């Protein structure tokens, strides 16, 4: 069974600073990996996804993530954080190409200091 | 294209009652999945429906059930509600093809008193 670990429950950064959110996964085959963001009272919005190919993936809102198979990691990065990035971020691994389910990490809450 | 819609957005029930939540997927999407989000357990997969058939099921008791209609709209039902069922229930739809993205609705927040 697949699993996802997000080691950081809460991160606080200053506006304009760089950001890295950590994600480690466990999955027997080639993983499908995702980062979603959730603002308070909202559903989940996809930031980026990795299925195969280039291990550096670009997403929306200036985010990127790098897949490192040797470290079973898929860390999310942003060079300069904006106050509007304050939200909760979820890493997820997707199982299978047919029957489809996402297994999520517990999330990392990001606070941004103006 | 309209996004995934869920109704109602908020719901208050008492223990022992049952509840039905509704989800309308993005037009053309035949896969609908349901997830439960709680502060303690996080986001957990409930089940997935595709073309009116349950294709996958998470580790939840039989009180949680669902169905999908021919127009791909889906409902989930929780019978004999317990306090621990209080959660945000998220619906997601997905197109066909293994690289298709799962798009989430805003959720239904259920409070069980």
Digit-coded pLDDT (tens) for A49-58: 998 888 999 9
Question: Tokens 């929306």 correspond to what residue?
Answer: A60
**A67 reaches B (C-beta below 8 A):** no
Residue A106 has pLDDT above 70, yes or no: yes
User: How far is it, in rounded angstroms, from Cα B51 to Cα B54?
Assistant: 8
- CB contact B25 to A (< 8 Å): no
Per DSSP, B101 falls in state: P
Asked if residue A75 has pLDDT above 70, the reply is yes
Give contacts of B105 with chain A, Cβ < 8 Å.
Answer: 43
CB pair distance less than 8 Å for B42 and A100: no
- Residue A112, token pair as written in the block: 């941004």
Confidence of residue A96 (pLDDT cuts 50, 70, 90): low
Residue B57 phi/psi, 5° resolution?
Answer: -140, 140
Taking the C-alpha atoms of residue B86 and residue A62, their distance in angstroms, rounded to an integer, is 35
Question: Which two three-digit tokens encode residue A90?
Answer: 């979820």
Instruction: State the residue for tokens 């409070």.
Output: B111
Contact between chains at A100 and B94 (C-beta distance less than 8 A): yes
- Mean of the pLDDT values across residues A57-69? 96
Mutate to test the interface with B, among A23, A51, A100 (most CBs of B within 10 A): A100
Mean pLDDT computed over B7-19: 97
B55/A98 touch (CB, cutoff 8 Å), yes or no: yes
pLDDT, mean of residues A61-82? 96
A82 CA: distance to closest CA in chain B (Å): 23
Q: Which DSSP state fits A62? A: G
Listed in order, strand segments (DSSP E) in chain A are 3-5, 10-14, 19-21, 24-26, 32-38, 44-50, 56-58, 64-68, 73-78, 87-95, 101-104, 108-113
Query: For residues A95 and A31, what is the distance between their CA atoms, to the nearest angstrom?
Result: 7
CA distance, residue B8 to nearest chain A CA (Å): 14
Residue among B33, B55, B106 minimizing CB distance to A42: B106
Q: Answer yes or no: do B31 and A51 touch at CB < 8 A.
A: no
Contact A30, A52 (CB under 8 A): yes
CB contact under 8 A, A43 and B90: yes
CA angle A96, A98, A104 (to 5 degrees): 45
Whether chain A has a CB inside 8 Å of the CB on B104: the answer is yes
In order of A7, A67, B82, the CA distances from A75 in angstroms are 11, 7, 37
Cβ contacts of A42 on chain B, cutoff 8 Å: 106-107
DSSP per position, B21-44: EEEEPPTT--EEEEEEEETTTEEE
Give residue-wise pLDDT tens across range B81-101.
999 999 999 999 998 876 788
Beta bridge partners of A76: A21, A65
Chain A CB contacts of B56 under 8 Å are 99-101
Per-residue pLDDT tens over the stretch B25-37: 999 999 999 999 9
């Amino acid at each position: 069974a697949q699993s996802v670990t997000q080691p950081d429950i809460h991160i606080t950064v200053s506006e304009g600073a760089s950001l890295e959110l950590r994600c480690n996964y466990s999955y027997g085959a080639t993983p499908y990996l995702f980062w979603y963001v959730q603002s308070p009272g909202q559903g989940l919005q996809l930031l980026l996804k990795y299925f195969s190919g280039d291990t550096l993936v670009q997403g929306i809102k200036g985010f990127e993530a790098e897949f490192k198979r040797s470290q079973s990691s898929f860390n999310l990065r942003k060079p300069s954080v904006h106050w509007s990035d304050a939200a909760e971020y979820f890493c997820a691994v997707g199982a299978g190409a047919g029957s489809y389910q996402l297994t999520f990490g517990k999330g990392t809450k990001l606070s941004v200091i103006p | 294209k309209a996004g995934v819609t869920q109704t109602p957005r908020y719901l208050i029930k008492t223990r022992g009652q049952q509840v039905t939540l509704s989800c309308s997927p993005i037009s053309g999407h035949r896969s609908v999945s349901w997830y439960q989000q709680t502060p303690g357990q996080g986001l957990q997969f409930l089940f997935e429906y595709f073309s009116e058939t349950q294709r996958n099921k998470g580790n939840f008791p039989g009180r949680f059930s669902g169905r999908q209609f021919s127009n791909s709209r889906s409902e989930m039902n929780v019978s004999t509600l317990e306090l621990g069922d209080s959660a945000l229930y998220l619906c997601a739809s997905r197109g066909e093809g293994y690289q298709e993205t799962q798009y989430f609705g805003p959720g239904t927040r259920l409070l069980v008193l």
